[in-house]
A = this chain, B = another copy of it.
Amino acid sequence: MTACTSPEKGCISRQFQLDTELTETEKHLLNQLEQPARCYPAGTQLTDASNQAGRFFTLISGWACAVRTLPDGQRQILDIFLPGQIIGLREITFEDNLSEFRALTDVEACPFPKSRLTDIFHQTPRLTELFFMTLAREQSLLIERIVNMGRRDAAERLAHFIIEIQLRLSPQLNHFILPMNQSMIGDTLGLSSVHVSRTLKFLSDEGFIEKHDQQIHILNFPALAELAGFDKRYLSSNQDWLSAS
C-alpha cells in the first residue's frame, strides 16, 4: 500500500470516451478521481467487508476482484475488475459492503470516498447518465454469469469465461495472461479447483486453447465461442440515449 510513482492519468475518462465525447470540465472531474494513486501488491485486500464501506477505487493498472466469503468459508468471486473500471459502484447505496475487494495482481488504484462521486453527480447530470450506463453494462455482465452458472456445464462455463475476459481485455488479440490460480477460477465459476484443472485440460486436449503457466492462448475462437454459446452483444452498448455534451 505504498505510494505509486507514475500514476498514468485519464484512465477513466479514456474509458468513457470510447462511448461519447467529454467536455473539458467532465474530463477534469473524472481525472480528479484518479489521484493520488496507490499501489496494492497482489493478494492484498483493498477494503474488507465490514469497515470502510462507501470507499471507491479507480483501477489504473492490474486486476482486482470483489469476493464474498460465506459463513462456512466458501468463497464466491463476484466481479473481475480490469483497468479503467471503477470498483465499488453498486455499493454506493449500501451502508455496509457485503463483499471485499482484493488485488489479483499488483495494482495501482485510487481510493476515494463516496462523497466525491456524489459531488460529481450533483455537478454534472451528464456524468450521472454515464455512470448509469456503466452500471447497466455491469449488470449485463452479471446476467451473463447467471446464465453461465445456471445453465452451462463446466467446460461451457470456462469457455465463456475465457472468451469474456479476452474480449474485455483486448478483443483484437487471441491470448492474454490470466493472473488467477485454479481455485480462484473455481471460485469465480462455482467449480472446485480440481474440476477446473480437469476442464482446462479438456479444453487443451480438444484443441480449443493452449495454456502455459498463466498464458492463455485461444487456438480456435469460433469453436470455443460455439461451445460456450457465447453471444457477444452483451458486451457492447449503445449510447444513443445520452444527452449531448
Contact = CB atoms under 8 A, between A and B. Distances in A.
A218 to B, nearest CB: 21
Contacts of A233: 94-96, 98
Interface stretch (A136-144, A161-169, A208-216): A136-144
Interface residues of A, number: 58
B146 A93 contact: no
Contacts of A90: 136, 139-140, 143
A92 B71 CA distance: 36
Number of copies: 2
A180 interface: no
Contact of A92 (B118, B136, B138): B136
A142 B145 CA distance: 10
Interface stretch (A9-17, A171-179, A234-242): A234-242
Interface stretch (A26-34, A39-47, A103-111, A124-132): A124-132
A147 interface: yes
A142 B140 contact: no
Contact of A114 (B68, B92, B241): B241
Contact of A98 (B74, B136, B231): B231
A104 B72 CA distance: 35
A7 interface: no
A135 interface: yes
A121 B128 CA distance: 9
A233 B135 CA distance: 20
B147 A238 contact: no
A121 B131 contact: no
Given A98-B234, A118-B241, A93 B137 contact: yes
Contact of A142 (B75, B146, B239): B146
Contacts of A147: 68, 70, 76, 78
Q: Which of A89, A115, A135 has the most CB of B within 10 A?
A: A135
Contacts of A128: 121, 125, 128-129, 132
Among all A-B residue pairs, the 5 with the closest Cβ atoms: A150-B190, A125-B125, A93-B237, A90-B139, A142-B142
14 contacts: A68-B147, A72-B229, A76-B147, A78-B143, A78-B146, A93-B140, A114-B241, A118-B241, A118-B242, A128-B128, A135-B136, A138-B139, A142-B143, A149-B190
